[in-house]
Structure 1
Amino acid sequence: MTQTYQERDVYIAIADPTRRKIIRLLADSEELPLYELTPHFQMGRTAVSKHLTVLKDADLVRNRKIGRETRYRLNAVPLQEVKDWLSFYEQFWNESASKLKRILEE
């Protein structure tokens, strides 16, 4: 896998619990600046900023400048790829559970 692909891979971006929490915080708000995101984590602004960069590279987060402040917002469109991928396995497990139920009933 090339580095360019890894930088834009939604699965790599959401693999980290900190980044998933950032996504959740942004989903609950219209926009948040870094100083409002940072208190939710036991790490400094620089570390949170690096996580935001990974999310931005995967196009999960967008940002805009307002004066000297950068505000971040969620772009959930790339998560559709994850949803589509998971839906196959949801169907697989539902069918497997139904088969097991039928076997147990026989």
Structure 2
Amino acid sequence: MLCSQFQALEIDGLGIHDYFDIMLISEVEQVRKPQPEIFQRALDRLGVAATDSVFVGDNPTADILGANSIEMWTMWKRNSHWLEPKEADVVIDELSEIPSILSQFNL
């Protein structure tokens, strides 16, 4: 996995590295969300179809609209910085909600 030093420190600090098979960093990929290409690259590297995947994000434009643009399912993590996007398939308050939601959708 390639990533900038800042992002590497952030990922290590959050302790989330082991939860993901791949991580794409815009600086390394030289493609930024909401461009569809960065979402498609992730899907290609994982070998999955957009309709069989879920993108969880907290930015209505970069995350939700970007993932929706290639027909990924989307979960918006509610926060106080943004209004709730109507385009999100699911809205969550806590990341711990994800497993039960995924099981409901058979994803």
TM-score for both structures, normalised by structure 1: 0.29
Larger radius of gyration: 1
- Structure number with higher helix proportion: 1
TM-score for both structures, normalised by structure 2: 0.29
